Amino acid sequence: MTCGLRRGSFDRFFGCRLRKRVRYGWFPKIEQDGGWTGVAFVNIEQEAANVTLRAFDDNGAEIASQPIPVPAGKKIVGMVDQVFQTDVRRARYFRFRSDRKVLGFTVSASGDEQMLDGIPALLEYFPYMWRQK
What does the pLDDT look like over 78-93, one tens digit per residue? 999 899 999 998 999 9
Residue 53 located in a structural domain: yes
Residue 3 located in a structural domain: no
Residue 113 sits in a domain of what CATH number?
A: 2.60.290.11
Domain count, the chain: 1
pTM tops 0.85, yes or no: no
For residue 40, the tally of other CB atoms under 10 A from its CB is 19
Which of 38 and 119 is assigned the larger pLDDT?
Answer: 38
Q: Which domain holds residue 34?
A: 20-131
DSSP assignment letter at 86: S
Give the separation between CA 128 and CA 108, rounded to whole angstroms: 26
Q: What band does 19 get if pLDDT is binned at 50, 70 and 90?
A: low
pLDDT of residue 6: 41
Residue pair 55/85 in contact (Cβ under 8 Å)? The answer is no
Residue 12 located in a structural domain: no
Residue 9 located in a structural domain: no
